[in-house]
Structure 1
Amino acid sequence: MTSKGMKTHQAAAAIPQFTSKDYFSFFLAGALCCTITHGAMTPVDVVKTRIQIDPAYKKLNMLTGTRYVIATEGPRALLTGFGPTAVGYLIQGGAKFAGYEYWKKKAVESVGGPEAAVKYRTAIYLGSASIAEFFADILLTPLEATRIRLVSDRTYATGLVTGFTRIAREGGIRELYAGFLPILCKQIPYAIGQFTVNELCHEIVFRSISEETRRTLSSTSKFAIQLGSGVIAGFAAAILSQPADTLLSQINKGHGPKGSMPHRLAVLAREAGFRGLFAGLGPRMIMTAGLVSGQFLLYGAIKEALGAPPGVEIHKETGAVV
């Protein structure tokens, strides 16, 4: 074998060859970490959505909004939409995390191996997150439409099944997927912030320590790095996706003019203005920081429990895929 051929062989060998069992583990870990965290954040999301679309909540913050919900509707109202949230993010989370692992590996292979992957790592993060999220959102959109309808209209239905079937009966597939474009506009920037910023945060940390220190990191240090990176990634995901999140709530509430979805989004964005598009950002940043950091911590722990291999890493500090 020539030196060139050996180099190519070594580069290819450095890329893990995931099996279908590995991808199932990635899917299960992603599904569980997302449904647990999103389900736990349901009360925060209820208040956030009300602040976005209900005039009575416009001047309230997370704390006062929570008190207002309890005072006017009772504590159980804070769990409105729990069913579609749990089910929706179970399937969306699995598809997103497994898809990110799949497309990142494919991207590394397509650019020619580890060395080229390091050079194009940011583009790989962006592309892998976007493609994975696109397919995951096909599964999420009908359930997200149901969740927002339940939260925004307390009399619409009693839960997931009745809400979903009513939307399907009255509006069909078109109504269930009315929010697909705004969901893409929301979730793809969200995924970009979540995965790309998390990867870059880890890289910054690892480049500041020696390889020996990295290998001997304590469990506490690893936890702190994962938590800190996840919180920063959560802030980025919230900021990037906030305008589309506001528009999605408006669309599923039935607001806006008739016409194509791009036209409706443009009109609603113009009416809301910059300040209106970022209404509820504070509570959502808190929620998203908890979601993203919790998801990465749970994802890693569940993968380890399942015996799944680590994902593809292309951090510059090692110059290799491991």
Structure 2
Amino acid sequence: MFSSFLTRALCQNSAPTTPDTQHEVPIQMGLVKSLVAGRTIAAASATAGKTEEGDSCTFGSPHYFALCGMGGILSCGITHTAIVPLDLVKCRIQVDPDKYRNVFHGFKVTLKEDGFRGLAKGWAPTFFGYSMQGLCKFGLYEVFKVFYTDLIGDENAFLFRTSLYLVASASAEFFADIALSPMEAAKVKIQTTPGYANTLRVAMPKMYAEEGVYSFYKSLVPLWMRQIPYTMMKFACFERTVELLYKFVVPKPRSECSKSEQLVVTFAAGYIAGVFCAIVSHPADTVVSKLNQEKGSTALEAARKLGMAGLWKGLMPRIVMIGTLTALQWFIYDAFKVAMRMPRPPPPEMPESLKKRLQAEGKL
């Protein structure tokens, strides 16, 4: 079963050899055809695995997916660690709104009690946790996008591409949160429980001694509730926003834009997606913060204690944080692809087979 999944995900079938060549030629399939119509990604002749001129790898190859995962490590690990001070204040507003009334007051109280070093609390679990999450989120998103496209076919992949983005991103985030959960639990414990621990190496053994492995995964379900909708919005909104920007805003096709111009579009689309991400995932984010603060509590109990108004505490700082975060993540991810000379498909185009069918039916 697993080998079948990999075969589909890599979008490669074996072609029979001929007397003229002893090399197998990978057949362009699935997402390679439907969302990258008109562009030859894999070699059509000569040596198997040969890339386009200037590309460092073949689209859909293990090398390609590995680089996507590396780009995810950089984009998520760097950005989440950079905004630890804002994240710390946001978490404290969520779990103790009486003490931390708003963002500015939260920073003021934190600086008074802990000094500037206090603003960096939780940086280590943030860096390691979100690096692992980024590896799974971006790497598996690319894998699942190709896998599901191969399952539903070229034409359906184009017609229902928004649904494709949503399902692929949700599948990737399911596994990404399993990797993130232990570090997220430690981060919130460090940031919201005064005197509990100041470092990761102190917090994790202490958490394990109190509640065992459960302490690292007790917030996994609310984490899924927060992260899966967030990631679905992050990827689907970004993909469609990029498509719309090139169609209605950018005065020339993406192929004619310089690398810097493409990265500007990436940043703008990422910020727009980030705003929607923050709104969709905020209530679950508040529950995660409250749950990891209190020992022995459940997600439902935490939500009841917070109430409807409490679930939306800290929304504005999170919109600023997530908007900026998402924009920077897509910027770093895309910049990494440029730097590594990875194949970067243009916006989706209608497959020729679908065009002909719609023309025959008089719908195009």
Q: TM-score, structure 1 length as denominator?
A: 0.87
Distance 1:58 1:71, change over 3 A: closer
The reply to whether residue 221 of structure 1 matches residue 255 of structure 2 is no
SS of 2:153 mapped into structure 1: coil
Distance 1:10 1:81, change over 3 A: closer
* Larger mean Cα displacement after TM superposition, 197-206 or 213-222: 213-222
Distance 1:306 1:100, change over 3 A: same
Maintained 8 Å contact 1:26/1:308: no
**Alignment match of 1:124 (pick from 159, 164, 170):** 164
In structure 1, distance between residues paired with 2:270 and 2:303: 29
> Which one-letter code corresponds to 1:52 in the other structure?
Q
Distance 1:228 1:47, change over 3 A: same
Distance 1:249 1:211, change over 3 A: same
**Alignment match of 2:83 (pick from 37, 41, 58):** 41
CA offsets 1:184-212 (integer angstroms, 9 cap, x no match): 00110110121111111112112226895
Cα offset, 1:119, TM superposition: 0.9
Cα offset, 1:288, TM superposition: 0.4
Maintained 8 Å contact 2:219/2:299: no
What is the aligned partner in structure 2 of residue 66 from structure 1? 107
In structure 1, distance between residues paired with 2:308 and 2:226: 16
* Larger mean Cα displacement after TM superposition, 156-165 or 186-195: 156-165
What is the aligned partner in structure 1 of residue 356 from structure 2? none
**Alignment match of 2:93 (pick from 51, 58, 62):** 51
**Alignment match of 2:33 (pick from 5, 8, 14):** 14
> Which one-letter code corresponds to 1:92 in the other structure?
Q
**Alignment match of 1:309 (pick from 343, 349, 355):** 343
The reply to whether residue 108 of structure 1 matches residue 129 of structure 2 is no
In structure 1, distance between residues paired with 2:64 and 2:198: 38
Which stretches in structure 1 are left out of the alignment for 5+ residues?
1-8, 258-263
In structure 2, distance between residues paired with 1:169 and 1:303: 43
The sequence identity of aligned pairs, in percent, is: 32
Maintained 8 Å contact 1:238/1:284: yes
Distance 1:162 1:10, change over 3 A: closer
Distance 1:283 1:205, change over 3 A: same
What is the correspondence of 1:1-322 to structure 2 with a 5 Å cutoff?
12=30, 14=33, 17-60=59-102, 62-113=103-154, 115-208=155-248, 213-254=253-294, 257=297, 264-310=298-344, 315=348, 318-320=349-351
What's the Cα RMSD here?
A: 2.2
Cα offset, 1:58, TM superposition: 4.4
Distance 1:104 1:10, change over 3 A: closer
Distance 1:25 1:320, change over 3 A: farther
Cα offset, 1:99, TM superposition: 0.7
Cα offset, 1:300, TM superposition: 1.0
- Which structure has the highest helix share of the two? 1
Maintained 8 Å contact 1:95/1:136: yes
Aligned length: 302
> Which one-letter code corresponds to 1:276 in the other structure?
G
RCO greater where, 1 or 2, for CA within 8 Å and sep 6 or more? 1
In structure 2, distance between residues paired with 1:57 and 1:204: 44
Cα offset, 1:255, TM superposition: 6.3
Cα offset, 1:154, TM superposition: 3.1
In structure 1, distance between residues paired with 2:127 and 2:90: 17
In structure 1, distance between residues paired with 2:347 and 2:146: 10
Distance 1:254 1:304, change over 3 A: same
In structure 2, distance between residues paired with 1:210 and 1:202: 10
Distance 1:49 1:215, change over 3 A: same
In structure 1, distance between residues paired with 2:203 and 2:332: 30
Cα offset, 1:68, TM superposition: 1.8
Distance 1:98 1:320, change over 3 A: farther
Distance 1:103 1:71, change over 3 A: same
Distance 1:210 1:73, change over 3 A: closer
Maintained 8 Å contact 2:263/2:335: no
SS of 2:212 mapped into structure 1: helix
Maintained 8 Å contact 1:118/1:314: no
**Greater Rg by CA:** 2
Maintained 8 Å contact 2:111/2:118: yes
Which stretches in structure 2 are left out of the alignment for 5+ residues?
1-26, 35-40, 42-58, 353-364
